Structure formats: structure tokens, C-alpha cells
Amino acid sequence: MTQLIDAPRGPLVIDGAINAAAPRLSLVIPTYNEAANLPVLIAQLEALLSPVLPDRYEMIVVDDDSPDRTWEVALELARERPHLRVMRRQGERGLSTAVIRGWQAAQGEILGVMDADLQHPADINLKLLDQIDSGAQIAIASRHVVGGGVSDWRWSRRVLSRGAQVLGLLVLPEVLGRLSDPMSGYFMMRRSALAGVTLDPLGYKILIEVVARAQPRWIGEVGYVFREREEGQSKVTATLYMQYLAHLLKLRWAKLRNLRFLQFCVVGGSGVLVDMALLYLLSDPSTLGLGLTRSKLIASETAILSNFLLNDLWTFRDLAALKPGPRARLRRFLSFNAICTAGVLWNLLLLNLMFNVLEMNRYVANLIAIGLVTGWNYWLNRKLSWSPLTVGNEPPRG
């Protein structure tokens, strides 16, 4: 079996599905001109992981068509190593997307990443695994906790690195404030904590992207010393610092928008208009004057139908795309309908309570009831109707 794997295309989303024979750990190693370092690293990782995870780990080298033909060196190494696979990307370039493409091709329960240039000590992987085994959703190697540090950095690089951290704290305090080393490129994460999250990074800072979009609840950190590079050059350029700033602003905007719930509310709002218009056309004494409950049921069902289509085509389109086809859509519709129908019953109960018991105006009561039920509908539909997962994985977050 050739070890060269195709580079995935399309949205940067990790699938939640894993099969029973899946490896425990998939370690992605992004490379660009690391032909000299890679053989050393692979040997170190094998010596470290084979005793601990016999036949239960894989390494995936993601090379962006390095001029020094690192991918060829990797293929040579993979010839005798079934747990080593190689992705040679042509056309797509960049550290963060390389890592995500590697994770998309990975089969493991735990998705890891580390640099190929031996600046990340390989043995820290075991400590990160311990953190995950004890419950963390993401375990990060940090230079800024006990046992952490940098070996021999010029003061200018220290100032730049800390400066970048401070800038990040200003723009994204709720993300960078959770991390002692937000710039770390060495960490591992449970697949279930990342499944279904659409990633869209810029430049180098894959960790910030993952924490900002996936919002893992439990973060574990392990101190490590970032070593000097012996072979090859760092690929960090001034452009990367600009990309970093652009990345921070992009995440800030995305979080401000927090589109999904806002979109769900906008769709819900359009449903209210459908609901109200039909409630008026059917039940108002000046129109057909049908009974309140019957009119409300018809109005709600029609609103549910249009809400579903709008949510499936807009709010949750990336998740719907994970399960294409009319059968899957019908399943989502039935689940959505069941949840929203339960919501209508909640709504009816609340509406009658406020109208008949608290003697509130029927339209005000209806609005309040719809508002309360929207949160219920969003939460359950996000978990059940548009869940990215297949059977057997952990529940998605948020």
C-alpha cells in the first residue's frame, strides 16, 4: 500500500467518525524543507511511541512540495513503516492548513501536531497523552509554565513573541487569556472536541484558531523547553506577523458575529412573521376567525417548514454538507420538526398560561413564549438535528 495520501479538498472541517480499529493517536508533522531533520525525528518518535502505543499510533507528514524534496525522504522512510503516511500538497501552502489537512486524513481518536525541526522535544508527546487520558480535551506544550522555556533566543525574538501575545490578549482576551503559550505549535486534541467545527486559519497560529473556534472546555498544559534549530531555517517572516494580526481580527469578527445562533434567530424571526401572518389570517375575528389553538397549530407547522429549509441551507449548511442526500435531509427535518413541535407545545402551554391565567395581551404573550422556546430549539437542534457526529462519539460542545 503506497504511503502517499491525497490531500483532502473543500472546507477545513474534521469529521467526527472513527472506526473501531482506529489508532489512538494521529500525529501530524508539517514540513517545509526539513529533509535533514525528518529521519531523526521519525526515529525518535518510533522509539518513544511504539512501546507505549504498539500499533495504535500513526504519523502523517504533510509536506508542501518542499524544494529539498522532504516528501521523497518521507516516502522512503514510510516504505518500511505502515504507521507513517505522507501527504505531498501541491498548490495549497501554509503551516496551519497543512496541519488541518493532515488531521482530515488522520484516523486517530486523538489528533496531535508537532514541528519537524527537532525544536519540539519528542518525549513531551507522552506527557500530553497523559493530560488527554486524564480528561483534557486539548493538551498543549507550553514554554511559559513550570518546566517551560526557550533555550537560546535572541532578546529581539523574545520581545516579538511576547509582543504578539500581548496583542492577542488585547484583541481576543477570552481566547488567549485561557492559554499560557498561545503561539505553541505543539499540542494534541480529542477528535470529538474538534469534530464539525469549520476552521479557517491564516498563517502559523493553528492553536489560537482551534481554541477560538472549538472552545474546548478542559485545557491541559505541559512545560517544555523550545530548543535551538540545528538544521535548516525558520520559515517565520515579517508577512507572518501581518497574517497573525489579520488572523486575530478575523477571529474577533467571527466571534462578534457568532453567526450560527444569530442566524438561527434571524431564521426564527422569519418564522415568527410566517407564524403571525397566518395566525392573523386564520384566527383574527376580522379575517377567518378560526379557533386560536387550531390556527396556531397550522401557523406553527408552516413556520417550522420554512425555518427548517432556511436553517438547513444557511445556518447549518456546513454541518448539513457532512451528511448530504435527501434521506439525511428528511431525517434532519423529522428531528427538527419533533424538537420544534415539542417547542410549540411548550409555547402553547406558556401562551395559554400568560393569556388565560396572567391575562396578558395575546400577541405580547405569544412573542415571549416564542423567545423562550427559541433557545430550547437552538440548543437541541444543534445537538441532535445538525450534529456532526455519527454514533459512538462524545457530545459536541456549545
Nearer to ligand GDD, 168 or 185 (CB): 185
Nearer to Mn ion, 109 or 117 (CB): 117
Q: Which does 34 bind (CB under 5 to 8 A by kind): Mn ion, ligand GDD, none?
A: ligand GDD
Q: Burial code of 164-183, b = ≥16 C-beta within 10 A, e = fewer?
A: bbeebbeebeebbeebbbbb
Nearer to ligand GDD, 50 or 234 (CB): 234
Shortest approach of Mn ion to residue 40 CB, angstroms?
14
- If one asks whether residue 311 binds ligand GDD (CB under 6 A), the answer comes out as no
Nearer to ligand GDD, 62 or 310 (CB): 62
Backbone angles phi, psi at 265, to 5 degrees: -70, -40
- If one asks whether residue 210 binds ligand GDD (CB under 6 A), the answer comes out as no
Shortest approach of Mn ion to residue 183 CB, angstroms?
12
User: Stretches 29-37, 211-219, 299-307, 359-367: which one binds ligand GDD (CB under 6 A)?
Assistant: 29-37
Cell, residue 168 = 492577542
Shortest approach of Mn ion to residue 119 CB, angstroms?
4
C-alpha–C-alpha distance, residues 139 and 86, integer Å: 24
Of all residues in this chain, which one has the CB nearest to ligand GDD in the complex? Answer: 185
Pick one of 26, 104, 119, 307: the residue that binds ligand GDD (CB under 6 A). 119
What number of chain residues touch Mn ion (CB under 5 A)? 2
Nearer to ligand GDD, 71 or 316 (CB): 71
Kindly identify the residues of this chain, within the stretch 176-205, that bind ligand GDD according to CB under 6 A: 183-185, 204
x/- track of binding to ligand GDD for residues 225-264 (CB under 6 A): -x-------xxx----------------------------
Distances 206 to 67, 194, 214, 303 between C-alpha atoms, Å: 24, 13, 12, 40
- If one asks whether residue 32 binds ligand GDD (CB under 6 A), the answer comes out as yes
Pick one of 58, 109, 117, 209: the residue that binds ligand GDD (CB under 6 A). 117
Cell, residue 387 = 450534529
Whether 103 contacts 14, CB under 8 Å? yes
Pick one of 58, 117, 221, 312: the residue that binds Mn ion (CB under 5 A). 117
User: Stretches 27-35, 114-122, 137-145, 315-323: which one binds Mn ion (CB under 5 A)?
Assistant: 114-122
Pick one of 7, 18, 34, 386: the residue that binds ligand GDD (CB under 6 A). 34
Q: CA Rg, the chain, in Å?
A: 25
Residue with grid cell 522535544, as numbered in its chain: 121
| Residues facing residue 142 across a β-bridge | 223
Residues that bind ligand GDD (CB under 6 A): 30-32, 34, 62-64, 93-95, 98, 115-117, 119, 183-185, 204, 226, 234-236
Residues that bind Mn ion (CB under 5 A): 117, 119
